[in-house]
């Protein structure tokens, strides 16, 4: 919406230039040279320069797993002129362009140099990008209503839109995103034409929507989403491998998915670390999955872990149906396994804040939270933050396993699809032994839109509003 990226991943999962006009790589594959498109401006009228791009990707390098993996090999980012800069590597790395165009959080968006130089561990407070929409702060109410206006100065690429690549043509003058807490109210507003689009309509109301000729249902996220239960490695009980293994036997994915999505045509259980719709999916070390839920086994493993009855705190986002239902069921199963599960109810925003706390539960920390990522993101061992296992430098939960990180390196350096698949199987074999997280299944629900609103581009992790029009 607001920001743009140097490269974009197209519908065929290939990285294409976006803010970049031309690029090249040296014969030794160690120096990448990029020239930005001419005429790009930030929303405040400033030109987009190489200095902005370099500062932005350096900030991204601190915050993102794929970026960290790349920047372990980067020795310099020289600026050659206002539109040209380089990445200089100490060794060849085959995922440079793919990383710069990644779809999953954290996106390598380009912001103003002064914003990018904000402490990487602090949130950037300004919302000034160079993308096809401008954030309208004056008419926005945080948490309730977000307003974006078409950027009249944005010059899209000439190619047709394809995924996050190609021409991002804003055909709508304004996009207003409303947070409507009551699902029935949201459905009623869609049917009445008061809103035009509903990103996650409740499954139990889909029949009602399907019967309305003015409403269209469409699956935009073809690879679906993969649910995950993140475990805090820093504190008991999940600092012990047996307690983490217990979670594999504790969770019954179908019960969670049925409670939220109802209709099995929209969901399925999945035992692959990489999701069950992509190229890296594997059957390695999934005996726990094939054996089904086993509360007695989970109880035995918690006992082996030395669990002492202390509270296990689950961060429960009550305003997100999947998270809320998953947390309720996980708490129930933990109690059946003899664990003192406590639900810490809040909204998702509060969960986002608290999950960053590394202190003990007694000091405001946590043991479990639930979230999800796109199936396409899960299919990439480098691109998804949740696939890091580099301890406190990694993603929330902070798993640490040296073999996992070595295999991720090997995967990135592999030159064939078959080679990457073989390494992915090794990654999964190891992961379901040390257990970085537990899975909660995979689903691909439809969005609902008014029939006269067209042009949505299928993407795994985002709903772009360029190319969309009301007719």
What is the domain-level CATH number for residue 400?
Answer: 3.10.105.10
Q: With 80 as the cut, is the pLDDT of residue 212 above it?
A: yes
Residue 464's pLDDT is: 87
pLDDT digits (tens, 9 = 90+) for 110-135: 999 999 999 988 889 999 999 999 99
Is 129 domain-assigned? no
Is 128 domain-assigned? no
Residue 140's pLDDT is: 95
Q: With 90 as the cut, is the pLDDT of residue 436 above it?
A: yes
Is 135 domain-assigned? no
Looking at residue 160, which CATH number applies to its domain? 3.40.190.10
For the chain, how many helices (H) and strands (E)?
A: 15, 20
pTM over 0.85: no
Specify whether 304 is located in the same domain as 332.
Answer: yes
Is 168 domain-assigned? yes
The residue among 65, 89, 123 that closes a domain is: 123
Q: With 90 as the cut, is the pLDDT of residue 329 above it?
A: yes
Specify whether 411 is located in the same domain as 342.
Answer: yes
Specify whether 248 is located in the same domain as 383.
Answer: yes
Residue 282's pLDDT is: 97
Question: CB atoms < 10 A from the CB of 231, how many?
Answer: 23
Is 361 domain-assigned? yes
φ/ψ of 68, rounded to 5, equals -60, -40
Specify whether 298 is located in the same domain as 394.
Answer: yes
Q: Which of 343, 333, 164 is nearest to 252 (CA)?
A: 333
Question: CB atoms < 10 A from the CB of 272, how many?
Answer: 24
Specify whether 457 is located in the same domain as 383.
Answer: no
Tokens, residue 19: 């803010």
Specify whether 153 is located in the same domain as 69.
Answer: no
pLDDT digits (tens, 9 = 90+) for 83-97: 999 999 999 998 999
Domain residue limits at 381: 225-443
Question: CB atoms < 10 A from the CB of 279, how many?
Answer: 12
Residue 103's pLDDT is: 82
The residue among 123, 157, 188 that closes a domain is: 123
Specify whether 422 is located in the same domain as 382.
Answer: yes
Is 131 domain-assigned? no
Is 238 domain-assigned? yes
pLDDT digits (tens, 9 = 90+) for 360-391: 999 999 999 999 999 988 999 998 989 999 99
Q: What is the mean pLDDT of residues 316-335?
A: 96
Is 136 domain-assigned? no
Specify whether 207 is located in the same domain as 246.
Answer: no
Looking at residue 36, which CATH number applies to its domain? 3.90.76.10
Specify whether 205 is located in the same domain as 243.
Answer: no
Q: What is the mean pLDDT of residues 24-32?
A: 97
Q: Domain total for the chain?
A: 3
170: exposed, middle or buried (C-beta count within 10 Å: 0-12, 13-18, 19+)? buried
Q: What is the mean pLDDT of residues 190-213?
A: 92
Q: How far apart are CA 232 and CA 398, in angstroms?
A: 7
Specify whether 437 is located in the same domain as 465.
Answer: no
Residue 261's pLDDT is: 86
Q: How far apart are CA 381 and CA 411, in angstroms?
A: 8
Place of tokens 């020289």: 78
Q: With 80 as the cut, is the pLDDT of residue 460 above it?
A: no
Specify whether 190 is located in the same domain as 293.
Answer: no
Specify whether 212 is located in the same domain as 168.
Answer: yes
């Amino acid at each position: 919406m607001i920001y743009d990226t140097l490269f974009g991943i197209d519908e065929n999962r290939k990285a294409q230039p976006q803010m970049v006009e031309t690029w090249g790589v040296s014969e030794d594959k160690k120096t990448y040279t990029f020239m930005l498109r001419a005429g790009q401006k930030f929303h405040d009228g400033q030109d987009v320069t190489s200095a902005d791009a370099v500062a932005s990707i350096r900030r991204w390098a601190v915050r993102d797993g794929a970026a960290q993996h790349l920047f372990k090999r980067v020795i310099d980012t020289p600026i050659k002129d206002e539109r040209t800069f380089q990445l200089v590597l100490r060794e060849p790395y085959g995922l440079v362009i793919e990383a710069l165009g990644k779809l999953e959080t954290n996106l390598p968006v380009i912001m103003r140099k002064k914003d990018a130089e904000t402490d990487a561990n602090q949130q950037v407070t300004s919302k000034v990008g160079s993308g096809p929409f401008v954030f309208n702060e004056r008419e926005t109410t945080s948490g309730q209503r977000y307003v974006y206006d078409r950027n009249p100065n944005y010059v899209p690429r000439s190619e047709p839109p394809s995924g996050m690549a190609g021409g991002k043509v804003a055909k709508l003058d304004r996009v207003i995103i409303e947070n409507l807490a009551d699902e029935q109210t949201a459905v009623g507003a869609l049917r009445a034409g008061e809103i035009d689009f509903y990103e996650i309509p409740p499954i139990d109301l889909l029949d009602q929507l399907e019967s309305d000729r003015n409403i269209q249902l469409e699956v935009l996220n073809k690879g679906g989403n993969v649910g995950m239960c993140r475990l805090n490695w820093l504190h008991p009980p999940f600092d012990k491998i047996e307690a983490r293994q217990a979670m594999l036997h504790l969770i019954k994915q179908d019960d969670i998915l049925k409670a939220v999505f109802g209709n099995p045509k929209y969901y399925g259980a999945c035992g692959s670390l990489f999701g069950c719709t992509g190229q890296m999916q594997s059957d390695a070390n999934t005996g726990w999955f094939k054996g089904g839920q086993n509360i007695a086994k989970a109880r035995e493993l918690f006992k082996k872990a030395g669990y002492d009855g202390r509270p296990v705190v689950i961060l429960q986002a009550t305003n997100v149906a999947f998270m809320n239902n998953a947390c309720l069921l996980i708490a129930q199963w933990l109690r059946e396994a003899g664990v003192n599960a406590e639900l810490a109810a809040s909204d998702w925003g509060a969960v986002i804040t608290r999950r960053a706390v590394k202190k003990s539960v007694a000091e405001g920390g946590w043991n479990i939270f639930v979230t999800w990522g796109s199936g396409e993101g899960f299919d990439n061992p480098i691109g998804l933050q949740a696939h890091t296992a580099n301890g406190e430098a990694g993603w929330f939960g902070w798993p640490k396993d040296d073999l996992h990180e070595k295999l991720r390196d090997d995967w990135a350096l592999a030159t064939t699809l078959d080679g990457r698949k073989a390494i992915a199987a090794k990654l999964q074999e190891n992961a379901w032994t040390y257990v970085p997280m537990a899975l909660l299944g995979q689903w691909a629900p439809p969005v609902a839109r008014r029939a006269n609103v067209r042009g949505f581009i299928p993407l795994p992790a985002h709903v772009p509003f360029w190319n969309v029009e009301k007719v």
